[in-house]
Amino acid sequence: MSTVASGQKSQICFSIDDMPVVSYGINDSNYQKMIFNSIMSSLVKNKIPAIGFVNERKIRKEADGGRYQKELLKNWIKSGLELGNHTYSHPDFNNVSCKEYTSDILKGEPILKEILSESGKSIKYFRHPFLHVGETKSKADSLDAFLKEHGYKVAPVTIDNDDYLFALAYKKASDVKDTILMSRIGFDYIDYMEKKLHFYERQSVALFGRKIPQILLIHASLLNAVYLDSLASMYKRNGYEFADMDTALRDEAYNSKVTSYGKWGISWIDRWAISSGKKGDFFNGDPVAPDYIK
Ligand SMILES: [Zn+2]
């Protein structure tokens, strides 16, 4: 019996990383505004209570201190969407000490605090760049203790994917105005994301015996600015409704323990599976991007 037929909807939370915008070095404010506003309006239109994770360096490196980018983020909050910390400069925790990493987290707070406090809110969620949480237990524990002490909850990801590869291919096709290729990439992106959804649904059922609320990671790219409506339709077609981070994390599956560590940046479903002793075959069938995208 499908979830739709049973009247029970599955849930998915959208999280959007590398905010305000993945600009590929294009510092044109109109270009950045177009991407940001398009993503925001699709989220609002589809009633998706998304959370965006910000790298403040992108804002503060601007000559004017990132005035227009701050305005964009203020509008995001006013639209009922959430923001969290994704560090200041997107360091790789596998390559820096806990001390360096945590100071980068703190450096990523001032603008977020300013914007959130205007709406009576405070920073609640942290998302690890590259999903690297610490390659050893002691390093991961040190970071967890820091996050707890500073009032953060970790924002896990269950639907990990290579949207950034599609986004880069799309941007390159867009640079040369190859509209046929752009359409092909967009079509293949949605198809790939649907396969990823089905894969992590199966993994969820294999591990928990049911479909847990999924947490999707995508990036604030041109590709997602153009294809977010299609993405939303695909999840709806598969019987999903959109949930915020708080709601997703209330599911007891998210209390599962991670006890195995490595340099990997992977789905939390995979972390829980590895931690519970799952091996080899369990992880088979993870969809990959087509060769021309890679
Ligand atoms: Zn990131």
Residue 1 has pLDDT above 50, yes or no: no
**All domains of the chain in start order, with CATH:** 10-160+211-282 (3.20.20.370)
The encoded tokens of residue 251 equal 């599911």
- Residue 32 has a pLDDT of 94
- Residue 7 has a pLDDT of 61
Contacts of 187 (CB under 8 A, 6+ apart): none
Write out the H or E segment, with its range, that includes residue 82: strand 82-85
User: What are the pLDDT digits (tens) for 25-62?
Assistant: 888 899 999 999 999 999 999 999 999 999 999 999 88
Q: What is the whole-number distance in angstroms between the Cα of residue 1 and the centre of ligand 1?
A: 37
Residue 63 has pLDDT above 90, yes or no: no
Alpha helices in 96-178, H assignment, sequence order: 98-107, 110-118, 137-149, 163-175
Say how far apart CA 220 and CA 167 lie, in whole Å. 9
Residue 117 has pLDDT above 50, yes or no: yes
Q: What is the whole-number distance in angstroms between the Cα of residue 209 and the centre of ligand 1?
A: 31
Q: What is the whole-number distance in angstroms between the Cα of residue 86 and the centre of ligand 1?
A: 7
Q: What is the whole-number distance in angstroms between the Cα of residue 133 and the centre of ligand 1?
A: 13
CA dihedral 264, 270, 272, 274 (to 10 degrees): -70
Mean pLDDT, range 88-110, rounded to an integer: 98
Residue 95 has pLDDT above 80, yes or no: yes
Residue 157 has pLDDT above 50, yes or no: yes
Q: What is the whole-number distance in angstroms between the Cα of residue 217 and the centre of ligand 1?
A: 9
- Residue 194 has a pLDDT of 98
Backbone φ and ψ of 71, nearest 5°: -60, -40
Mean pLDDT, range 283-291, rounded to an integer: 96
Say how far apart CA 21 and CA 69 lie, in whole Å. 9
Q: What is the whole-number distance in angstroms between the Cα of residue 24 and the centre of ligand 1?
A: 13
Q: What is the whole-number distance in angstroms between the Cα of residue 93 and the centre of ligand 1?
A: 12
Question: Which of 185, 184, 145 lies closest to 165, judged by CA?
Answer: 185
- Residue 8 has a pLDDT of 77
Write out the H or E segment, with its range, that includes residue 14: strand 10-19
Q: What is the whole-number distance in angstroms between the Cα of residue 92 and the centre of ligand 1?
A: 10
Q: What is the whole-number distance in angstroms between the Cα of residue 108 and the centre of ligand 1?
A: 13
Q: What is the whole-number distance in angstroms between the Cα of residue 127 and the centre of ligand 1?
A: 8
Q: What is the whole-number distance in angstroms between the Cα of residue 8 and the centre of ligand 1?
A: 33
Q: What is the whole-number distance in angstroms between the Cα of residue 58 and the centre of ligand 1?
A: 12
Mean pLDDT, range 243-259, rounded to an integer: 98
Residue 3 has pLDDT above 80, yes or no: no
Mean pLDDT, range 201-220, rounded to an integer: 98
Residue percentage of the chain with pLDDT more than 70: 98
Mean pLDDT for all residues in the chain: 95
Residue 4 has pLDDT above 90, yes or no: no
Enter the pTM of the model. Answer: 0.96
Mean pLDDT, range 253-266, rounded to an integer: 96
Burial class (CB in 10 A: 0-12, 13-18, 19+), 209: exposed
Peptide bond into 20 cis (omega under 30): yes
Q: What is the whole-number distance in angstroms between the Cα of residue 6 and the centre of ligand 1?
A: 37
Residue 217 has pLDDT above 70, yes or no: yes
Q: 126 and 153 in contact (C-beta within 8 Å)? A: yes
Q: What is the whole-number distance in angstroms between the Cα of residue 90 and the centre of ligand 1?
A: 6
Q: What is the whole-number distance in angstroms between the Cα of residue 182 and the centre of ligand 1?
A: 24
- Residue 82 has a pLDDT of 98
- Residue 2 has a pLDDT of 44
Contacts of 127 (CB under 8 A, 6+ apart): 15, 17, 53, 84, 85, 86, 154, 155, 157
